[in-house]
Structure 1
């Protein structure tokens, strides 16, 4: 059986990735704070299981993934993929005006949870002969400084370096596992709505992002998901350690 574990499946890109993999007969395990009834009720070749989890809670995150691993170890696995898509953009604010609790939750979801999950994941399948595929969803903000996105850019830059290092280790160890980054660029999501609701004193580029919406420059999440899903459905095309952007295709 083919399984994929995806974080952030309640809406947006995560939901689109999950649905398209299910359409391709992949069994999906979704992790998010909110359930996705459409996925749970979908009549598709692949099934959907949901684990309601707040990835800002590191202890809860670890417990959830230990349960998922225990479940998966009882399944006849043909392939196993992990897509770490969940992320926060808030707080959008200049340094010196931020809420410490928001900052903590931000770093937990965007960086610490992926690190903890990856550590558990690679340890759990260490003695397996099943090659793993792990993809972390990144952002162009990891490579440039944006006024008001100090937390977001920093957490994504940290995720990029972490992903590259894990890929290097897996290559050196000769595990056959593939770890890579996927950049979905700008999409029509609730996160974009959060960005557009910012004040210019918080986010200097807010007008540009409002124009993305009015000028219809935001890609549909289904279109973006297809770029990644096509890659995931043909693992031979994936290069360990690669940076794969939707802009390479669309």
Structure 2
């Protein structure tokens, strides 16, 4: 059987990915703070399993407890293929270096970097032990590749997740593992994160006018369209280990 695990699944890109997995009859494990009630009916309609695990990804203990529980239950079923999508992320803090709040700094590192690394580490170990085929997609950003005024933490953590992905892929290739790990850059979408960006201040985020224009001129992609592109890529199976895939390459 095939299983998909999606973090931040209740809304935005995570919701788009989760819905497309259900459409493709992949058993879904959704992880987020709150549950998207639409998934239960969608899973029933598709005739697949659906499970929801509440988790606060900013909590190290929550991540450890929840994902150890998921991994133990999942790999005991001897799944044919597991698709793990580390989608959850936070843009905050949006502010100048020197004015960043300590708690916001630590939360950004935990959600954007530490949590996906911990989850990848656990699932790679379990896949190796059980011989399951594992595909991991870590959601990244174009901000990983250029400095953005006011986004020092977001740029830094996304750059770090890209390097983790490339390094883990190198290690998998060197030991001839069947598991694959990639990064996925979804571009600019019409999500809650974009609302947060547009509500910041000019001083904190110097490019705010550009991002407000994206919304005003209807230039934002839908999370469903972007999510479908990723699921199509994963199901194709012919992914290049360690590669950063960009949504515009897939649409």
Fold-level similarity (TM above 0.5): yes
Please report how far the alpha carbon of residue 127 of structure 1 lies from its aligned counterpart in structure 2 after TM superposition: 2.3
CA distance in 1, matches of 2:15, 2:214: 22
Matched, 1:239 2:247: no
Q: Give per-residue Cα distances to partners, 1:17-74, cap 9 Å, x unaligned.
A: 0011111110010111111111133233233211100000011101111100111123
Deviations 1:160-201 (A, max 9, x none): 001100000000011111110111000000000000000000
Gaps of 5+ in 1: none
**Alignment partner, residue 99 of structure 1:** 101
Provide the residue aligned with 1:77 in structure 2: 79
Aligned to 2:166: 164
What's 2:31 paired with? 31
Gaps of 5+ in 2: none
Distance 1:95 1:40 in 2: 43
> Paired residues, what number?
249
**Alignment partners' CA distance in 1, 2:133 and 2:228:** 22
CA RMSD of aligned residues (A): 1.0
Is the 8 Å Cα contact of residues 138 and 156 (structure 1) preserved in structure 2?
A: yes
Question: How far, CA to CA, are the matches of 2:180 and 2:250 in structure 1?
Answer: 20
Question: Match of 1:125, SS?
Answer: helix
CA contact (8 A) 2:78 2:132 kept: no
Which moved further from structure 2: 73-82 or 102-111? 73-82
Structure 2 partner of 1:116: 118
1:249 corresponds in structure 2 to 250
Structure 1 residue aligned with 2:218: 216
Distance between the aligned counterparts of 1:204 and 1:119, measured in 2?
A: 37
- Segment of structure 1 superposing worse, 210-219 or 223-232: 223-232
Structure 1 position 76, deviation (Å) = 4.1
Structure 1 length-normalised TM: 0.97
1:199-233 per-residue CA deviation (whole Å, 9 max, x = no partner) reads 00010000000000001110001111111111122
Counterpart CA distance in 2 for 1:129 and 1:103 is 38
| 128-137 vs 161-170, greater mean Cα deviation | 128-137
